[in-house]
């Protein structure tokens, strides 16, 4: 059951000048209202310089590199060296990996 969206969002997240307006929806399974985050896999969004937005909890991609020296796979975007966020706790950030940049062409 999806709750009708109100005019005013429940939370606004700003990342590099882009604004994400988040709304809560009721989850019958949990009996809770949960914030609904963008589905960047289904509906990609990009910065002005064509870098993809990502959620901290998204699974890392094939280009992901662990931000700790002893790790192989970051597991999620939040643990990847390419994941940029303005504040440490931000759930939405930008993938700074050139391989994932829209219209990127390798020159070598």
pLDDT in tens, 43-60: 999 999 999 999 999 999
Is residue 82 in some structural domain? yes
Whether 16 is in a domain gets the answer: yes
For residue 2, being part of any structural domain is answered with: no
Residue 58, Cβ density class (10 Å: 0-12 exposed, 13-18 middle, ≥19 buried) = buried
Q: Which of 96, 99, 94 is nearest to 63 (CA)?
A: 99
SS (H, E, C) 70-86: CCCCCCEHHHECCEECC
Alpha helices in 10-103 (DSSP H): none
Portion of the chain with pLDDT greater than 70, in percent: 90
User: Is 94 within the bounds of a domain?
Assistant: yes
Range of the domain at 75: 11-100
Nearest alpha carbon to residue 23 among 32, 12, 15: 12
Does 108 fall in a domain? no
Residue 36 falls inside a structural domain: yes
- Number of domains the chain contains: 1
For residue 107, being part of any structural domain is answered with no
- Does pTM surpass 0.75? yes
In a domain, 96, yes or no: yes
pLDDT at 1: 45
């Amino acid at each position: 059951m999806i709750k009708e969206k109100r005019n005013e969002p429940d939370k606004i997240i700003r990342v590099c000048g882009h604004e994400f307006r988040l709304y809560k929806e009721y989850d019958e399974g949990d009996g809770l209202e949960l914030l609904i985050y963008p589905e960047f896999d289904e509906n990609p969004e990009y910065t002005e310089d064509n870098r993809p937005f990502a959620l901290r909890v998204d699974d890392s991609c094939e280009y992901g590199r662990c931000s700790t020296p002893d790790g192989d796979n970051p597991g999620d975007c939040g643990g990847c060296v390419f994941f940029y966020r303005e504040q440490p706790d931000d759930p939405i950030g930008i993938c700074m990996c050139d391989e994932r940049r829209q219209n990127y062409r390798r020159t070598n």
